[in-house]
């Protein structure tokens, strides 16, 4: 596989790209059935996968490598990309089609082989991915699927033949993988992990934009995204109006059958996760926050007929003091659990609140003042920043 040209390797990926595009509606429904996110998000998952495969296959046409002048006139220095070898890809259940292709499309184009370990909650989507590679004619042994639980992922990380580990999932597991691979000089790991993400809403914010952005970020995928916002840091000048509008929407967000087009939030992924989210809602009450919306236990009339045993949890919204070291405002919940944190100072104070967690994944700022957005961009401690420029 590594002996082929990048152009030859990309040919199989184009077949996968076209199958993803042709089967978007079908596969989007399977995503929704298996992981529970509402149907428009199920389809978007497949579209995102297609875009990633298209990008990786298209990038194969771009020149790769460089020759640069050396400090010695008679010599040149060259940089050439070479495959690392076997790549272990460990992916989560919340984007069961898109995230595997984030990992695998580039790895394959660059000449690596792949061993893919999907989340145990979404084996059906993983099987479809495997069938697509087989249909495209990827040679035996280049792509490999192993289903199972955490012990399978651990075996993959430990195996001496695996040179690179690509992981998306919890901070706890990712930190273990990073530590284990760091102990072996031949291995490399890239880990995208959890977040206690915040949206900063300044006194210069357009509240139509701010409320919409906060609702989408907090409650889409039922809050089960590593980039979902669980903290809304709002300036006192706009706090009351924002709070009232956000709370009004959170109180009526449509929770229901994810296959219905008018559903906004589907169920959580499983019983264990219901227990986790519920426990954090209970913890927030214990820590003395002011609860504004509590739809933890949905009434019978909001639960779809025939799905009474589903994993249903609605939005939970509360006010808290940003200066208090509360667990509920500092630990990732991975559900529709949202804290409103009021501040009265300048953008510097807002960013201090934003940075006061042990995570640095993603965040956003809403403001009509580009200087505030630029300050956030330069000082927020995160890897992925959004601003309404």
Helices 123-136, 98-109: crossing angle, 10 deg rounding: 30
Q: 110-126 burial, b for 16+ CB within 10 Å, e for fewer?
A: bbbbbbbbbbebbbebb
Q: Is 192 a catalytic residue?
A: yes
Q: Is 226 a catalytic residue?
A: yes
Q: 370-381 burial, b for 16+ CB within 10 Å, e for fewer?
A: eebbebbeeebe
Of 188, 292, 278, 282, nearest to 248 by C-alpha is 292
CA-CA-CA-CA dihedral for 31, 36, 40, 45, to nearest 10: -40
Out of 192, 203, 230, 332, the active site residue is 192
As a whole number of angstroms, the distance between CA 56 and CA 70 comes to 31
Out of 38, 226, 328, 342, the active site residue is 226
By CB neighbour count within 10 A (0-12 exposed, 13-18 middle, 19+ buried), where does 210 fall?
buried
As a whole number of angstroms, the distance between CA 30 and CA 306 comes to 19
As a whole number of angstroms, the distance between CA 86 and CA 265 comes to 38
Please say whether the beta carbons of 150 and 30 come within 8 A: no
User: How many helices (H) does the chain have, and how many strands (E)?
Assistant: 12, 14
CA-CA-CA-CA dihedral for 45, 49, 52, 57, to nearest 10: -160
Catalytic residues: 192, 226
């Amino acid at each position: 596989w590594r002996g082929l040209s990048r152009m030859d390797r990309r040919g199989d990926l184009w077949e996968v790209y076209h199958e993803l595009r042709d089967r978007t509606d079908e596969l989007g429904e399977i995503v929704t059935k298996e992981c529970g996110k509402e149907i428009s998000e199920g389809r978007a998952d497949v579209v995102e996968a297609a875009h990633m495969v298209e990008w990786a296959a298209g990038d194969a046409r771009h020149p790769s490598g460089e020759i640069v002048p050396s400090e010695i006139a008679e010599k040149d220095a060259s940089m050439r990309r070479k495959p690392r070898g076997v790549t272990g890809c460990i992916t989560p259940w919340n984007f069961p089609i898109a995230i595997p292709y984030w990992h695998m499309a580039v790895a394959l184009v660059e000449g690596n082989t792949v061993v893919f370990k999907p989340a145990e909650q979404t084996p059906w989507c993983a099987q479809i991915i495997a069938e697509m590679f087989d249909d495209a004619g990827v040679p035996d042994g280049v792509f490999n699927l192993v289903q199972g639980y955490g012990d399978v992922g651990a075996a993959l990380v430990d195996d001496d033949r695996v040179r690179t580990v690509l992981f998306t999932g919890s901070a706890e597991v990712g930190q273990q993988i990073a530590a284990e691979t760091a102990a072996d000089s031949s291995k490399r790991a890239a880990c995208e992990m959890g977040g206690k993400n915040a949206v900063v809403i300044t006194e210069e914010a357009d509240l139509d934009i701010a409320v919409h952005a906060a609702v989408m970020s907090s409650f889409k995928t039922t809050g089960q995204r590593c980039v979902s916002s669980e903290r809304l840091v709002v300036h006192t000048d706009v706090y009351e109006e924002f709070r009232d509008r956000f709370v009004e929407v959170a109180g009526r967000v449509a929770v229901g059958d994810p296959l219905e087009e008018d559903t906004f939030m589907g169920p959580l992924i499983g019983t264990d996760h219901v227990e986790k989210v519920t426990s954090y809602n209970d913890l927030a009450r214990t820590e003395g926050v002011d609860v504004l919306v509590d739809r933890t236990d949905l009434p019978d009339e909001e639960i779809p007929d025939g799905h009474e045993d589903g994993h249903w949890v609605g939005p939970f919204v509360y006010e808290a003091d940003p200066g208090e070291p509360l667990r509920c405002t500092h630990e990732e919940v991975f559900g529709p659990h949202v804290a409103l944190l009021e501040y009265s100072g300048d953008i510097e104070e807002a960013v201090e609140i934003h940075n006061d967690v042990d995570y640095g994944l993603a965040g956003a700022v809403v403001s009509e003042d580009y200087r505030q957005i630029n300050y956030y961009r330069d000082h927020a401690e995160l890897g992925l920043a959004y601003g309404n420029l």
